[in-house]
Amino acid sequence: MKPEWKEWAQEAKAEFPKANSALLPLLHRIQRAEGWLAPETLSDVAELLNLPVQYVESVASFYSLYFKQPVGKKVVHVCVGLSCMLAGSDELMHRLEEKLGVSQGQTTPDGAYTLLEAECLAACDLAPVAQVNLRYKGPVPPEKADELLKEEVSS
Amino acid sequence: MIADAAAKLGIDVPVYCYHEALGPLGACRMCLVQVEKMPKLATACTTAVSEGMVVHTRGPAVDKGRKGVLEFLLINHPLDCPVCDKGGECFLQDYTFQYGPPAGRFEEPKIQKVKDGPINEFILVDQERCVLCQRCVRFMGEYVGEPQLLLEGRGVETVVTTVDHEPATSQFSGNVIDLCPVGALLSVPYHHKARPWNIEREESVCTLCPVGCTTLATGRDGHIVRIEGRPVPDRSWGWLCDRGRFGFDFAVNPSRLITSYLEGREEAAARTTRQVGQWLRDAVSQHGGNSVAFVAGGLHSTEEAYQLNRFAREVVGTERLAVSRDVPGYLPRGLNGTFADIDDADAVVLIGTDPYESVPVVHLRLRDRARALPSLKLMGVAPRSLSRETLRVDTLVTHVGQEAAVLAAALSDAARGHAVLAELVSNGLGDLSGIDGEALAELGSTLVNSEHLTVLWDGLEADVEPVLVALQSVRGDKPTRVLPTWGPSNWRGFERAGFDARIESLTGILEDARDGKLQMLVLWGADLLREYPDQELVRQAYARVPVLVAESLFPPAGHESFKAILPQAGPGEVYGTYVNMEARLQVAMPSVQPPGQARPTKTYVTAWARAMEKPFVLQEDWDPYDDNSGDLVPEESVPREVRPIAPASSAPDGYELITGVLVIENGIPSDFLKPRVPQYPGRISPSDADRLGIRNQAVIKLSREGREMTAAVAVDPAMTPGRIYMPLGLADAPVNALGTGAVNVTVIEEVHSA
Ligand code: SF4
Ligand code: SF4
Ligand code: FES
Ligand code: FES
């Protein structure tokens, strides 16, 4: 556990009446600093907020916004929800895999990209939807795979 | 809720996620019903009933809704029912048959997930079959308070798994198998063992601790292969602890007696039986009936105790009958409460006992109460803190042997001047220095002022009995109910059958045996070297009595001393009733035959009556039930006299050995449970461990006045400093060899954990 996490937990808690409301902001802040959320980090956060580890793991695994593995510089999420799938997101994923030379769930050896799938990102009107470092992009038809990879976004 | 109302009326509303004990959630949508004046279908489990409401539980709209829900649930279901243990006992099958679509329209490949992954040693999870109802997750988290299961992920990827993917350690884990409405959570011992048409499922009760949980025993080909919880409407949810659920294999344990031993040699049971008959005959004719004593114990049923009692009194002509006891306390029937007294209590006081360890399912009952009534006063009086993560207990920590005095002091304080109290403490209270005055006052006010007081007592300190009698008299009409947490689990049944359950009878028999006044001692399921609080006396008695005979499930400790050992038929092998800690009679139907040459009590005693040439007919129709008290042992009035308690002795300077029942270690072997039995069952506080130079675990020597025992202890942060805890009745570290109280401690060997 990093010493500053304690302060961050205090600050997050101060903003909400209940400890579990502080969970999401605290996870975000730690992820910004660490790049990802290791299993030990989740246990530490549970301890900091006095929540069951079970609860924290459940919440962290629910959101694709939280990385449970180390990620590359650019994280590309492709929505594989029903609407996006019908609009061709599977083909988009295919092309991205080919271009990057990794399968979904993996990071390129140079650490530049991580390719992940996401369940419905709640933007079906923009299907097929992708995210680059959590910024929404859409519609991204399969032919625009190259452009997507070139997107300049802050990490 | 509509679902409850329908159930009460016998109308079927299908549910997955809803369970009355867990409360509404509305996650699965299986329970859709049509409520007039509501625009859409409503979930019966989350919609409260109201005056004038008209609900349709069937009809085209409802059926279509349910059909749709099932189609969705089955989209990724592997449809591997032919190899699923729940096949034939599954609500997914049942509801699909009743309401489901004949075929799904979804043609994409199904998502594959983990099959037969481990939850722990006893439970497998098939994530593909899970309908995500969350019963298991909520049971462990909210109900038990040990959140070890979780839903991981989102959408179709969601799975049930364990925290950090480590095995779930809760002793209540097995209940999720019963709770899971589909074939997602499976029992390891039952895995691929049988189909519903191969088995006999009989109503039974668990006899492994005094709770006496109601069970269903599944028998196949002469073996019990599964134990499930059996809910009893308005009485019990049917929870079991893992000890009871998975410990059934004791019946086929390799150490189980299935032949007999005569003078140390293996022998056909029929021959040994004849020989014992001859000894009985000789003893009675040469020394009279009272030269033979009988001690009942173990897992015998009330009927068996009754048959033994009649044989002893009528044929042998002895009055020397006792119950095997491992603690000296006794509870008069008149004070004995039921579990409903937990549900009604505004105050619960635990004396010595930690329900989580001694009567596991009662711990759930207490948690249930504490959640329903947040203002519940939950106090403890014990030589260690009884508080746990799952149940906060304000414990007044005493020294060994001070519980009665502390309770009496609290009582005298709060009900000053009551005549009965003067009698109770007429010998003085002794030295209670170090007991916190404020805590004492709070205990006193809880004891006296609560509306409905329920006490759980471990029986380790006999003097608590008069305190409880006095307490009842002080409280008058306000309910004061006590639940005894000690074994043998059916001791009240033995009493009902005519045995004296007070320890004084047993002590008298052992002293007479030691003094050469007994010719024959017959132990019926009792393992006295392991059980009786003073092991030395038992040793002397065994050495002196000319004929020592045992009937038992397992060879008793010190079996070299026995002239004959006969194999016992166990629970679930003969019909029998068992009386639990509520004084409630419950029937266990047999589901298998006794193995090998094991025979029921009746067979032995009738054979002996014949050998003794005495007429003896056992009525088939003895019935432990009573017309007026239903399934409870008949009420008795509470005794009026109160005997004075002994004054508390001063606190010792050094360490104190303390003990208590640990159900997982209660001496009945189980291979399934082996991984759960702690290798270092003793406990020591971190500060004491520090002082002794122990980091994690160690083997230590405990001694007092020439007696000693070795104990394997582990550091336990919850342990109260100054105390060394050892569970009661361990074969290789018998607390009764030393007795509780002050001990000297030396470290023999420190063991570093792997
Ligand atoms: S494993 Fe069973 S009980 Fe748990 S969520 Fe899935 S279906 Fe429900
Ligand atoms: S609590 Fe006792 S009676 Fe109930 S299942 Fe466990 S061991 Fe058996
Ligand atoms: S399915 Fe992709 S955003 Fe909804
Ligand atoms: S039972 Fe009603 S929603 Fe699950």
Whether A137 is covered by a domain: the verdict is yes
CB contact under 8 A, B164 and A63: no
Contacts of residue B332, Cβ cutoff 8 Å, sequence gap at least 6:
B465, B469, B636, B638, B639
A153: pLDDT strictly greater than 80: no
Strand order in the sheet with B200-205: B200-205, B214-220, B223-229
One domain, residues A12 and A57: yes
* Whether residue A50 is found in the same domain as residue A80: no
Residues A22 and A48 in one domain: yes
Q: Is A119 in Cβ contact with B155 (below 8 Å)?
A: yes
Ligand 4: atom nearest CA of B18 is 1
**Phi and psi angles of residue B543, each rounded to the nearest 5 degrees, phi first:** -70, -25
Query: Which residues in chain A have their CB less than 8 angstroms from residue B164's CB?
Result: 39, 43, 53, 57
* Domain annotation covers residue A88: yes
| A-interface mutation test, from B105, B159, B163, most A Cβ less than 10 A away | B163
Look up the domain containing A27 and give its range: 3-62
The rounded Cα B201 to chain-centroid distance in angstroms is: 21
Q: Hey, how many other C-beta atoms are within 10 angstroms of the C-beta on B189?
A: 17
Would you place residue A154 in the very low, low, confident or very high pLDDT band (cuts 50, 70, 90)?
low
The predicted model gives B186-198 an average pLDDT of 93
Q: How far is B161 from chain A (nearest CA, A)?
A: 10
**C-alpha–C-alpha distance, residues B748 and B94, integer Å:** 60
Q: Are B490 and B302 in contact (CB under 8 A)?
A: yes
According to the model, what pLDDT value does residue A124 have?
Answer: 94
Ligand showing the shortest atom-to-Cα distance for residue B6:
4
The answer to whether the Cβ–Cβ distance between A55 and B154 falls below 8 Å is: no
Which chain A residues touch B if contact means CB-CB below 8 Å? 39, 43, 52-55, 57-58, 61-64, 81, 119-120
Q: Which ligand is nearest to the CA of B69?
A: 4
| Cβ pair A81:B155 closer than 8 A | yes
Q: Are residues A78 and A145 in the same domain?
A: yes
Q: What's the CA-to-centroid distance between B149 and ligand 4, angstroms?
A: 20
Closest CA–CA distance from residue A40 to any residue of chain B (Å): 9
**Co-location of A83 and A141 in the same domain:** yes
Alpha helix ranges (H) inside B288-434: 302-310, 340-343, 355-358, 360-372, 403-414, 419-424
DSSP B447-463: HHH-SSEEEEE---STT
Select the residue of B154, B163, B164 nearest A119 (Cβ to Cβ). Answer: B154
Q: Confidence class of residue B754 from pLDDT cuts 50, 70 and 90?
A: low
Helix (H, G, I), strand (E, B) or coil at B514: helix
Tell me if A68 is assigned to some domain.
no
- The three-class DSSP label of residue B229 is strand
CATH number at A43 reads 1.10.10.1590
Smallest CA separation from ligand 2 atom 4, residue: B213
Instruction: Indicate the range of B128-132, B356-360, B446-450, B747-751 predicted with least confidence.
Output: B747-751
**A45 shares its domain with A85:** no
Any idea which residue has 């997930």 for tokens?
B113
Provide the token pair at B70. Answer: 């099932």
Give, in order, the Cα–Cα distances in Å from B178 to each of A141, B215, B240, B616: 48, 11, 10, 46
Strand locations in B450-589, DSSP E? 453-457, 480-484, 520-524, 547-552, 564-567, 576-579, 585-588
The pLDDT mean for chain A works out to 92
Q: Work out the pLDDT band at B420, boundaries 50, 70, 90.
A: very high
Residues of A in contact with B156 (CB under 8 A): 119
Token reading at B250: 């004791």
For the segment B358-369, the average pLDDT, to the nearest whole number, is: 97
pLDDT band of residue B732 (cuts 50, 70, 90) is: confident
The percentage of residues in chain B with a pLDDT greater than 90, rounded to a whole number, is 88
B695/A150 Cα distance (integer angstroms): 56
Q: Name the residue ranges covered by the structural domains of chain B.
A: 2-192, 267-326+490-611, 333-484, 678-751
For residue B7, which ligand has an atom nearest its CA? 4
Beta carbons within 10 angstroms of residue B594's beta carbon = 19
Residues B717, B720, B722: CA angle, nearest 5 degrees: 120
Domain B678-751 - what CATH class? Answer: mainly beta
pLDDT of residue B753: 66
Q: What residues of chain B have any CB closer than 8 angstroms to a CB in chain A?
A: 141, 147-157, 163-164
CB of B483 shorter than 6 A to ligand 2 = no
pLDDT in tens, A11-51: 999 999 888 899 999 999 999 999 899 999 999 999 999 99
Q: Is the C-beta atom of B30 inside 6 A of ligand 4?
A: yes
Query: pTM (2 decimals)?
Result: 0.91
- Residue B231 Cα to ligand 2 midpoint, Å, equals 14
B13 CB near ligand 4 (under 6 Å):
no
Q: A56 and A26: one domain?
A: yes
Q: How many angstroms away from the CA of B151 is the closest CA of chain A?
A: 6
What's the pLDDT at B108?
A: 82
Residue whose C-alpha is closest to residue B69's, from B144, B13, B136 = B13
Chain B partners within 8 Å of A81 (Cβ): 155
DSSP letter for B149, please.
Answer: E
How many A×B Cβ pairs under 8 Å?
37
pLDDT digits (tens, 9 = 90+) for B235-259: 999 999 999 999 999 999 999 999 9
Q: What is the mean pLDDT of residues B215-232?
A: 94
DSSP structure string for B156-207: GG-EEEEGGGPPP--TTTTHHHHH-SSTTEEETTTTTT--GGG-EEEEEE--
**Pair A89, A127: CB distance under 8 Å:** yes
Give the distance (Å) from ligand 1 centre to CA of residue B238: 18
For residue A105, give how far its alpha carbon lies from the nearest alpha carbon of chain B (Å).
14
Residue of B318, B267, B329, B328 lying closest to B295 (CA atoms) = B318
| Closest approach of A62 to chain B, Cα-based (Å) | 4
The alpha carbon of residue B218 and the mean position of all alpha carbons in its chain are separated, in whole angstroms, by 20
Query: How many residues does the structure list for chain B?
Result: 754
B121 CA → ligand 1 middle, Å: 18
Is residue A92 located within the same domain as residue A143? yes
Chain B neighbors of A64, CB-CB under 8 A: 154
A120 within ligand 3 shell (Cβ under 6 A): yes
Query: What are the chain B neighbours of A55 within 8 Å (beta carbons)?
Result: 141, 147, 150
The pLDDT of B472-498, averaged and rounded, is: 96
Mean pLDDT of chain B: 94
Cα A21 to ligand 1 centroid, rounded to whole Å: 26
Is the pLDDT at A134 greater than 60? The verdict is: yes
Task: Write out chain B residues lying below 8 Å of A46, CB-based.
Answer: none
The full length of chain A comes to: 155
CA distance A78 to chain B (A): 15
Tell me the C-alpha to C-alpha distance, in Å, between residue B256 and each of B432, B662, B730, B731.
Answer: 47, 21, 18, 16
Kindly report the CATH number assigned to the domain that includes residue A89. Answer: 3.40.30.10
Select the residue of A57, A62, A64 nearest B163 (Cβ to Cβ): A57
Interface test with A, best of B106, B119, B154 (most A CBs within 10 A): B154
Question: Same domain, yes or no, for A28 and A86?
Answer: no
User: Residues with Cβ < 8 Å from B508, sequence gap 6 or more?
Assistant: B320, B322
Q: For domain B333-484, say whether CATH 2.60.40.60 is its number.
A: no
- Residues B278-311: tens digit of each pLDDT: 999 999 999 999 999 999 999 999 999 999 999 9
Which residue, among B281, B279, B261, has the nearest Cα to B269 in the 3D structure? B261
ipTM higher than threshold 0.90: no
Fold topology of B2-192: Ubiquitin-like (UB roll) (3.10.20)
**N-to-C CA span, chain A:** 23
- pLDDT interval class at B647 (50, 70, 90): very high
| Residues B103-154: tens digit of each pLDDT | 888 888 888 999 999 999 999 999 999 999 999 999 999 999 999 999 999 8
Q: Are residues B719 and B384 in contact, defined by beta-carbon separation less than 8 angstroms?
A: yes
Position A132 in a domain: yes
From B154, B157, B163, residue closest to A54, measured CB to CB: B163
| Confidence check: pLDDT of B163 > 80 | yes
**CB atoms closer than 10 angstroms to residue B517:** 17
CA angle B441, B443, B445 (to 5 degrees): 70
Same domain? For A58 and A79 the reply is no
B122 lines ligand 4 (CB under 6 A): no
CA of B138 to the centre of ligand 1 (A): 10
CA distances from B329 to B337, B352, B457, B574 (A): 16, 12, 9, 30
CATH code, residues B267-326+490-611: 3.40.50.740
Distance B526 CA to ligand 2 centre (A): 20
* Domain total of chain A: 2
Q: What is the dihedral of CA B298, B299, B305, B311, to 10 degrees?
A: -70
User: What distance in Å separates residue B165's CA from the closest CA in chain A?
Assistant: 10
Together in a domain, A49 and A88: no
In order of A134, A142, B71, B122, B129, the CA distances from B401 in angstroms are: 65, 79, 64, 39, 54
The SS3 of residue A107 is strand
Facing A57 at nearest CB: one of B150, B156, B157: B150
Q: For residues B293 and B281, give the distance between their C-alpha atoms in angstroms, rounded to a whole number.
A: 14
CB of B227 closer than 6 A to ligand 2? no
Contact B230, B216 (CB under 8 A): yes
Two structure tokens written together for A134: 């959590």
The preferred substitution site among B1, B2, B17, B136 for testing ligand 4, maximizing ligand atoms within 8 Å of CB, is B17
Statement to judge: residues A80 and A145 lie in one domain = yes
- Domain C-terminal end among A28, A62, A96: A62
Which pLDDT belongs to residue B296?
Answer: 97
Distance of alpha carbon B386 from its chain centroid, rounded? Answer: 18
Report whether residue B212 contacts ligand 2, using a CB cutoff of 6 Å.
yes
Three-state DSSP at B687 gives helix
* Chain A residue closest in CA terms to B151: A58
Per-position DSSP letters for A19-50, written without gaps between them = GGGGHHHHHHHHHHHHSS--HHHHHHHHHHHT
* Binary contact (B154, A63; C-beta < 8 A): yes
Q: What's the pLDDT at A155?
A: 54
Percent of chain B with pLDDT over 70: 99
Contact A52 B164 (CB under 8 A): no
Residue at A69 is within a domain: no
Select from B617, B248, B330 the least CA-distant residue to B501: B330
pLDDT at residue B217 in the model: 96
B345 neighbors B451 (Cβ within 8 angstroms):
no
Residue B296: both structure tokens together: 């009942």
Which ligand is nearest the CA of B581, by number?
A: 2
* Strand B292-296 relative to strand B520-524, pairing: parallel
pLDDT digits (tens, 9 = 90+) for A83-112: 999 999 999 999 999 999 999 999 999 999
Q: Which of B277, B190, B179 has its CA nearest to residue B231?
A: B179
| pLDDT in the model for residue B433 | 87
